Structure 1
Amino acid sequence: MLTELILAGGAAYAGVKSYAKQSKKKRLAKFLGTPPFSLSEEIKATALQAPTRDEIDKTLNRELAIASFSLGLSAMGAWLYPPLIWCSFLGLFLVGRHVYSSAYTSLAKDHRANGDTVISIVITMFLLQGYYVLSAIPIFYLALNRKLVSKVKDESRHNFVDVFKQMPRSVWVSIDGVEVETAFDTLQQGDIVVVGTGATIPVDGTITAGVATIDQQILTGEAQPVEKGVGDPVSAATLVLSGRLSIRVDRAGEETTAAHIGSILNQTVDYKTKIQLWAEAIAERTVAPTLLCGGLVLPVLGSQAAASLLFAVPRHRTTVIASIGILNLFKLASRKGLLIKDGRTLDLLNEVDTVVFDKTGTLTETQPHISRIHTCNGYPEYDLLRYAAAAETNQSHPIAHAIRQEATERRVDVPAVDEAVYLLGYGLNVTVEDQCVQVGSARYLEMENLDIPLPLLEAQKVSDARGHSLVYVAINGNVQGALELAPTIRPEAQAIIKRLRQMGIQSTYIISGDHKAPTQALAEALGIDAYFAEVLPDQKADLIDALQREGKSVCYIGDGINDGIALKKAKVSVSLRGASSVAMDTAQVVLMDGSLRHLGDLFDLARSYQTNMKTSLMLIWIPTLLSIGGALFFQLGFFLSVTLQNLGLLAGVAHSTWPLMQAHHRSNRFSKSDRGRKRGRHGVSFLTKNALRGTNQERRSRRRSGHSA
């Protein structure tokens, strides 16, 4: 009876907490006035006329509360007031109907028994023999199991790729020379769309007028902006950094390249949703042997031994343990800046032996850096950088940021601009201290009829071979030098590659749309085994397929729209916060700090989860085997069997929660230590100086790494 009361009290507490959580969510949703899911989920749920996630949560919370309350009523009825037992039957029926429905479906349609078949037999035997409290326990497990598994399983609710959230609701269309604002979804082939600085190009088309610098990274993965003019093609979802374009619409809406990639992702999403949690699979294998043993034991040892044997099937208990373990690990991962969307990823990570990196935006940062300053005729580097930084003062593209950052680090005194004339798309012309300063590309100098000195032409060839680019600077009509821009290698990249090798990763690769020379140089600088250069967007997925056909288990790390299909093909997919929406929606894991620093922690967590779950499940299976042996050889009754198995469940829950408790303890200890260090005034000053010194050293190291690459 004591055990029954303990179980009833725990169940009642769980029910109250569940109901309170449900009420809190309801109040919060009412206060905010918006549903707690993204626009893409809302669109798809409406289209399929499926219940929303919020409705499912409400149903599961309500069933858990009912099951908990019914278990409490049956326990109080057995101990205090018998009529309460009859009051519990309605709740048991409302929640328990799922077990009987599943059992009937499995037998009638699939012609096989499942775990719910065993549970339904156990509940029926308990009810017929008057063990009402024991009949309520499996139903409580069922409600708890459904709630936990609902949190863990990914039923493809996020498989709608929200490509169009980057698109404007309306665009400007040129009609007979007059710009008219038009709804985005009414665009047709042949329309002329006008796009200005800072706007996203909404269509695939051809430029009919204007010039512009365009950031195509979201589609191609390459951070280097490109210059485009009349006759050049442009793609939807790319960004105009500077310039103004008139674009003839070739493809709009679902026909664009970006939308086509999203369509392919939706077609390839289903195969991963068919994988069941391995805890369920293990328990399901015991169903047939248990039913057979129960049927043999019933005429020999009686109904109590048979019921005890059937109740020993650990289906719901193993699933509860696995679900709790995954949810606890999700909390640990969130503390390290890891967003793991699906618990099954943890199992797949332990199979990975090959890591493939996309180059730009993953191993390198989106903003380049000045690796070298080329000057002619003895012109001072300081003055060249000074005038270039002044010219780029009001610009917002990555090249301008790189020039201004170099000027800041060299402590250059940047003068104010007196007058500025921008040739949108190619370069700019400003007046600084009565000096005419022109900054731009080789194409810009050609348009301005400025001759590039021979030393700079040679530097351009060397720069092109390295995968770098030159920004030319002319003073008073004479080209005096150029700033060489190089990709910036992430400061943590080399350490992460080394750590992956120490963890047993056998092979590492780079995939890049860039030229061979810079890709090879980056691979050699980071110690990466092999590389694929000049890869077109649609070839990335083919390369991942080829590696996996060779028997490799691939983890792919990418951040662009063009990486979406490759991310879907890989066994494990990882993206970074700040990447394209397609990459973040598709990837199974998102590194929330936008860097690779915690990539090694991801693999460590997966391994620790596997070890923890093996021990936790062992704590479930040992009492299960003892219950089976006790029922067969020592006529162990219902009460002792249930007590033994619940002790195993409690031990398994405690062990699966232990890593989270340890992390919480360490966090509290470190926070106390930090508070102690901050008490000293001199200590704060010393730490601040060291932090600043470390930041400057890191910047210098980053520049050297980029230069060597």
Structure 2
Amino acid sequence: MLVIGGLIIGGLLYTGIRSRKVSNEKKINSRKKTPSEKNLSIATTSLGCIVSGPIFFAPLTLLGVGGLVYLVLPTWKQGYNDLTQKRRFTRMVLESMVLPGTILTGHFFAAAIAYWFLYFALNIVSKAKGLTTKNLADVFITPSNRVVYIMREGVELEFTLKDVQAGDVLVVEAGEIIPVDGTIVKGNAAIDQRMLTGESQLVEKQVGDFVFASTMMLTGRILIEVEKAGEETISNQTQQILNEMTSFTATLELRSIDMADRLALPYLMLGSAASVLKGTSSGLAIFWSPLDDALYAVGPLSVLNYLNIALRRGILVKDGRALEILRKVDTIVFDKTGTLTEEIPKVAKIHACGEVSQSQILRYAGAAERKHTHPVAQAILEEVLMQDIKLPSIQESAYETGYGIKVMIGEQTVLVGSLRFMEQQSLSLPEQLEAVQIESQELGESLVYVAIDEAIVGAIELHARIRPNTVEVISKLKALGYNICIISGDHEKPTQHLAKQLGIEHYFAETLPEEKANLIKNMQQEGRVVCYMGDGINDTIALKQAEVSVSLRGASSIATDTAQVVLMNGQLDQLIELIELAKQLDVNLKNTFLVSVIPTAAIVGGVLIFNLSLTAAIIVYMVSMGLSVTNAVFPLLKEK
């Protein structure tokens, strides 16, 4: 057996040298069948030839053996690379020795049926991978041919975004995402920058202010002189940084494959010893031990099936290694705005002045905002609906500056908007609301003022709305032993307030995007394994730094592109389900290992104690592979 092993390893070296000369000659022909389907067809044909050869035509046996040799050639090439480049004795090297040894000892049928079974299992893995790849198609890519309007000589002309150059003047309307970096040259607007900076409050912009690509313009109409467009915008610069970063997960292998490689050399030593003591067939019987093939073929199948289970539950796992690593996570870090809180705020308080009641203030604000869809309008209209307030009709409405709206209700002029909007209308803040304004600024909350006939009569206080089940999710995570932390680009007070509401002790406020990644890096240097959950452009570098990255559907496209996992239902309770799936996968892989170890022990013990034959060893091998495949497939079948 040692002689055969030496010949095979020498053959590996020869095959590798020769393959370098011809490896580039056969890459053009397209195939209808996938490689796994083709290999299974060859294995099936080889099996048929070996079975029918002794009965009908003897040369068919040689044809069948040739088919098996063809199937093993890639294994020889990989084995050569492992020996010469990795300088490791891997499972590929060991498998390169199995078929020639089995054929040389005359066990043609046993080899054929065993290889057919192996390629049948690999074909199942390939189909599962193809299904998973199809299901995990990226649905978050923004069209590259977005239509924009450029102002030239007083006329709006239609272009695609890729045609925009520095110096162009771009027209942006309310409800649109700003596609470029630039300076406002005309108009005013209220802009939601939370995807970029993490701020929960709207930012009011006017002529001379700078605006950023990928931020949302909620109200107004502005003309922007383009400074940076396309690949030069801040959001695209962030994406380029991410593309250049080397993901540490790229070097990780699935535990099953790594374990199979580490067991290869002990198998060689054990099989060689058996060859010396019991004969060549006994050594080959040990080489047919099912452990390495079962782990290699079925381990990935378990991962792929759990990816499909996750998808059926509304969890998009784009990188299967996330499920592998998640079991090691001990720290979960949340971004605040958009992750723990929802996009639409809630009406917390209504402050009334003079003789106007709170319900009247809400009634006037609701009437003014009735036809609008931005988050502030939705929050006000939701409160109107809850209080069952009937809204009056309005005669006219107009955005005066982009910071508010002016309508006529009956004979009254009603203004709804920010403090700056009121000041631009020459309206002074009532003394009763001055303290409210100061407090809201300190806490980072928003106030929408309502004025009737040139006098401010009240304000609607808006608070960030915590996502449903967030308190319960945080409580469960703490009970499971995870360290919980909040990292936010928002101000200190609102971040502190939210952390207190959720029972989270550790938080970081007013952090820049690169600081978020550095904070995670510091945690990792302390020995923690971090899962980061974020939804904004400002979270992308932190998502890449963490061992496991999670985002929510509806988040910025760059965040969902970067994250390994996307919770498609947009709810935090799916994070608990994700953790449970990761634990179930871990158990499943351990069971795969168990149903492989027992037959392996049976083969080794049978060979050394009871002189188990090579044919019997191959039968045990096939039974073990069958059990392993069943174990891998059963969770998905159960889910269906």
TM-score (norm 1): 0.81
Given residue 260 of structure 1, which amino acid in structure 2 is its aligned partner?
Answer: Q
**Could you say which residue in structure 1 is the equivalent of 2:166?**
189
CA 1:364 to 1:73, structure 2 compared with 1: closer, same or farther past 3 Å?
farther
User: What secondary structure sits across from 1:407 in the alignment?
Assistant: helix
- In structure 2, which of residues 534, 539, 543 is the aligned counterpart of residue 563 of structure 1? 539
1:352 equivalent to 2:329? Answer yes
Tell me, in whole angstroms, the C-alpha distance in 1 between the residues paired with 2:139 and 2:570.
20
In the aligned structure 2, how far is the partner of 1:604 from the partner of 1:80? 56
| Structure 1 equivalent of residue 320 of structure 2 | 343
Stretch moving more, 389-398 or 77-86: 77-86
Q: Of 578, 584, 588, which residue of structure 1 is paired with 2:554? A: 578
With over 3 angstroms needed to count, the CA separation of the structure-2 counterparts of 1:515 and 1:79, relative to structure 1, is farther
Query: Which residue matches 1:306?
Result: 283
Partner Cα separation in structure 2 for residue 189 and residue 55 of structure 1:
47
Q: What does 1:112-131 align with in structure 2 at a 5 Å threshold? A: 112-131=88-107
Q: CA deviation at 1:149?
A: 6.5
In structure 2, the residue matched to 1:297 is 274
Q: 1:635 maps to what in 2?
A: 611
Q: Deviations 1:469-494 (Å, cap 9, x if unpaired)?
A: 11011111111111111100112000
SS in 2 for 1:248: strand
Name which of 519, 523, 526 aligns with 1:550: 526
Deviation (angstroms), 1:293: 3.1
Task: Output one character per residue of 1:371-416: Cα deviation in whole Å (capped at 9) or x when no partner.
Answer: 0000101311111111110100111100001111100000000112
Q: Gaps (5+ residues) in structure 1?
A: 1-50, 665-709
Equivalent-residue separation in structure 1 for 2:134 and 2:196 (angstroms): 24
Give the partner amino acid of 1:581. Answer: S
Is 2:587 aligned against 1:611?
yes
Q: Which stretch shows the higher mean deviation, 361-370 or 112-121?
A: 112-121
Contact 2:535/2:559 (<8 A) preserved: yes
Q: 1:153 to 1:460 in 2, by over 3 A?
A: farther
The alpha-carbon deviation at position 325 of structure 1 amounts to: 1.9
Partner AA of 2:512 in structure 1? L
- Give the Cα–Cα distance (whole angstroms) in 2 for the partners of residues 161 and 262 of structure 1: 16
Cα deviation digits, residues 140-178 of structure 1 (max 9, x gap): 525743762685699999999999826653432333444
Q: Is the 8 A contact 1:204 1:250 kept in 2?
A: yes
C-alpha change, 1:272 and 1:139, in structure 2 (3 Å) is: farther
Q: Which residue of the partner structure matches residue 701 of structure 1?
A: none
Partner Cα distance (1:91, 1:604) in 2 = 44
> Any idea what the Cα deviations from partners look like across 1:20-43, whole Å, max 9, x if unmatched?
xxxxxxxxxxxxxxxxxxxxxxxx
Q: 1: CA distance between counterparts of 2:131 and 2:538?
A: 24
Alignment of 1:206-245 (within 5 A): 206-245=183-222
Q: Give the whole-Å Cα distance in 1 for the aligned partners of 2:298 and 2:388.
A: 59
CA distance in 2 between partners of 1:351 and 1:601 (Å): 16
Q: After superposing the two structures, state which structure 1 stretch, 331-340 or 473-482, moved more.
A: 331-340
- Is 1:379 the counterpart of 2:356? The answer is yes
- Kept in 1, the 8 Å contact 2:91–2:264? The answer is yes
Assess, with a 3 A threshold, how the Cα gap between structure 1 residues 88 and 188 changes in structure 2: closer, same or farther: same
Mapped to 1, the partners of 2:546 and 2:128 lie a distance apart of: 24
SS at match of 1:545: helix
- Write the distance in 2 (CA, Å) between the matches of 1:162 and 1:220: 25
Cα distance change on mapping 1:407 and 1:56 into 2, 3 Å: farther
Which residue of 1 is the match for residue 421 of structure 2?
444
Q: Match for 1:172 among 149, 152, 164?
A: 149
Q: Distance in 2 between matches of 1:436 and 1:444?
A: 15
Tell me, yes or no, if structure 1 residue 411 matches structure 2 residue 388: yes
1:323: Cα distance to partner?
A: 2.1
Output the CA distance in 2 between the equivalents of 1:644 and 1:225.
68
Contact kept, 8 Å, 1:153 with 1:343, in 2: the verdict is: no
Partner in structure 1 of residue 574 of structure 2: 598
Provide the secondary structure at the position in 2 that maps to 1:402. Answer: helix
Residues 345 and 465 in structure 2, CA contact (< 8 A), matched pair in contact too: yes
Q: 1:477 — aligned with what?
A: 454
Pick aligned residue for 1:273 from 233, 246, 250: 250
CA separation of 1:108 and 1:142: change in aligned 2, threshold 3 A = farther
Distance in structure 2 (CA, Å) of the matches to 1:612 and 1:112? 28
Letter of the aligned partner of 2:101 in structure 1? M
1:66 matched to 2:35: no
Q: CA deviation at 1:95?
A: 3.0
C-alpha displacement of 1:234: 0.8
Please name the residue that 2:398 is paired with.
421
Q: Provide the C-alpha distance between the structure 2 equivalents of 1:227 and 1:622, rounded to a whole number of angstroms.
A: 68
* 2:626 is the counterpart of 1:650: yes
Number of the residue aligned with 2:367: 390
Is the contact made by 2:289 and 2:603 (CA closer than 8 Å) also made in structure 1? yes
Q: Which secondary structure state, in structure 2, belongs to the residue aligned with residue 195 of structure 1?
A: strand
1:129, CA displacement in angstroms? Answer: 2.5
Structure 1 Cα separation of the partners of residues 51 and 341 of structure 2: 62
Give per-residue Cα distances to partners, 1:180-234, cap 9 Å, x unaligned. 3344323333332222223322211111211112222332344533211111111
What SS class does the counterpart of residue 486 from structure 2 fall into?
Answer: strand
Who is 1:95 aligned against? 71
Aligned-partner Cα distance in 2 for 1:262–1:84: 58
Query: In the alignment, is the contact (CA less than 8 A) between 1:161 and 1:262 conserved in 2?
Result: no
- Counterparts of 1:606 and 1:243, CA distance in 2: 47
In structure 2, the CA distance between the partners of 1:564 and 1:56, relative to structure 1 (3 Å rule), is farther
Contact 2:534 2:551 in 1 (8 A): yes
Q: CA contact under 8 A between 2:346 and 2:379: conserved in structure 1? A: yes
Aligned equivalent of 1:251: 228
Tell me how far 1:248 sits from its aligned partner.
1.8
Deviation string, structure 1 residues 584-631 (Cα, Å, up to 9, x no partner)? 111121111111122112112212221232122111011112212222
Matched, 1:589 2:589: no
Query: What amino acid does structure 2 have at the position aligned with 1:331?
Result: N
TM-score after normalising by structure 2: 0.89
C-alpha spacing 1:72/1:175, structure 2 compared with 1 (3 Å):
same
The answer for the alignment partner of 2:6 in structure 1 is: none
User: What is the alpha-carbon distance in structure 2 between the residues aligned to residue 341 and residue 55 of structure 1?
Assistant: 27
Separation in 2, partners of 1:185, 1:335: 37
Aligned-partner SS, 1:459 = helix
Q: 1:77 to 1:214 in 2, by over 3 A?
A: farther
User: Are positions 1:624 and 2:600 aligned together?
Assistant: yes
| Structure 1 residue 72: Cα displacement | 4.7
Could you tell which deviates more after superposition, 320-329 or 578-587?
Answer: 320-329
User: Mean Cα displacement is larger for which, 613-622 or 386-395?
Assistant: 613-622
Q: Give SS of 1:373's match.
A: strand
Q: Give the percent of matched residue pairs that are identical in Structure 1 and Structure 2.
A: 39
Q: Does 1:533 align with 2:520?
A: no
**Aligned mates of 1:78, 1:521 — CA distance in 2:** 82
CA deviation vs aligned residue, 1:490-539 (integer Å, no higher than 9, x gap): 1200000111122221x111111111111111111111121111112221
> In structure 2, do the counterparts of structure 1 residues 161 and 620 end up closer, same or farther at CA, with 3 Å as the change threshold?
closer
Contact 1:470 1:482 in 2 (8 A): yes
User: Is the partner of 2:365 in helix, strand or coil?
Assistant: helix
Q: Secondary structure at the match of 1:510?
A: strand
Residue 104 in structure 1 maps to residue 77 in structure 2: no
Offset of 1:83 from its aligned partner? 5.7
Query: Does the Cα contact within 8 Å between 1:148 and 1:323 map onto a contact in 2?
Result: yes
Question: Which residue of structure 1 lines up, in the alignment, with residue 19 of structure 2?
Answer: none
Superposition deviation, residue 59 in structure 1: 2.8
